[in-house]
């Protein structure tokens, strides 16, 4: 469980999702520059994401039909509320 602005949210980071699982981005717990970069590529709060690959190497997610590769450290900082 995670607390954001006084609200309890059940969420997981992108590293904990298996290929095929999807959800919505709830929070990005990264530095200012990394957060800005993720927002620029469309990975912002409320964005629907689906994990395509998550084994070794970067995590590949589908975001509005585009595939984006995120390093494992950065993927760990993206909190997602899952659909299932």
Residue 84: is its pLDDT beyond 90?
A: no
**Joined tokens for residue 28:** 């990005």
> Whole-angstrom Cα distance, residue 36 to residue 42?
10
Residue 57: is its pLDDT beyond 70?
A: yes
Give the pLDDT confidence of 1-52 residue by residue, as tens digits. Answer: 555 555 555 678 999 999 999 999 998 998 999 999 999 989 999 999 999 9
pLDDT at residue 11, as a whole number: 78
CATH number, span 12-82: 2.30.30.90
What is the phi/psi pair of residue 16, to 5°?
-85, -5
**58 vs 5, which has greater pLDDT?**
58
Q: Which residue has the tokens 């998550």?
A: 54
> Whole-angstrom Cα distance, residue 43 to residue 36?
10
Closest CA to 41 of 69, 18, 83, 22: 69
């Amino acid at each position: 469980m995670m607390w954001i602005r006084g609200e309890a949210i059940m969420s997981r980071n992108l590293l904990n999702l298996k290929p095929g699982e999807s959800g919505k981005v709830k929070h990005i717990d990264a530095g200012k520059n990394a957060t800005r970069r993720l927002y620029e590529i469309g990975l912002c709060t409320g964005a629907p994401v689906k994990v395509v690959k998550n084994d070794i190497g970067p995590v590949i997610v589908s975001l509005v039909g585009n595939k984006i590769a995120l390093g494992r450290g950065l993927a760990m900082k993206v909190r997602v509320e899952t659909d299932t």
